[in-house]
Amino acid sequence: MSEKLQKVLARAGLGSRRKMETVIAEGRVSLDGKLVELGERVTQEQVIRVDGHVVKYQAAESVVCRILAYNKPEGEVCTRSDEEGRKTVFDRLPVLKGSRWISIGRLDINTSGLLLFTTDGEFANKMMHPSQQVEREYAVRVFGDVTEAILNRLRMGVQLEDGEAKFLDIKEHGGEGINRWFHVVLTEGRTREVRRLWESQGLQVSRLMRVRYGNIILNNQLPQGGWQELTLKEVNYLRKLVNMPRETETKVRVETNKVTNPQARIRRAVKKHNQHRKAGERRRVTRTRS
Helix (H, G, I), strand (E, B) or coil at 47: coil
108 is catalytic: yes
- Rounded to whole angstroms, the Cα distance separating 38 from 116 reads 31
Helix (H, G, I), strand (E, B) or coil at 240: helix
Burial class (CB in 10 A: 0-12, 13-18, 19+), 92: buried
CB 35 within 8 A of CB 49: no
Total count of residues recorded for the chain? 290
CB 12 within 8 A of CB 19: no
Exactly one of 108, 145, 162, 169 is catalytic; name it. 108
Helix (H) or strand (E) holding 209: strand 204-213
Helix (H, G, I), strand (E, B) or coil at 147: coil
* Residue 110: partners with Cβ closer than 8 Å, 6 or more residues away: 74, 208
Burial class (CB in 10 A: 0-12, 13-18, 19+), 255: exposed
| Cα torsion angle, 15, 164, 155, 77, sign | positive
Catalytic residues: 108
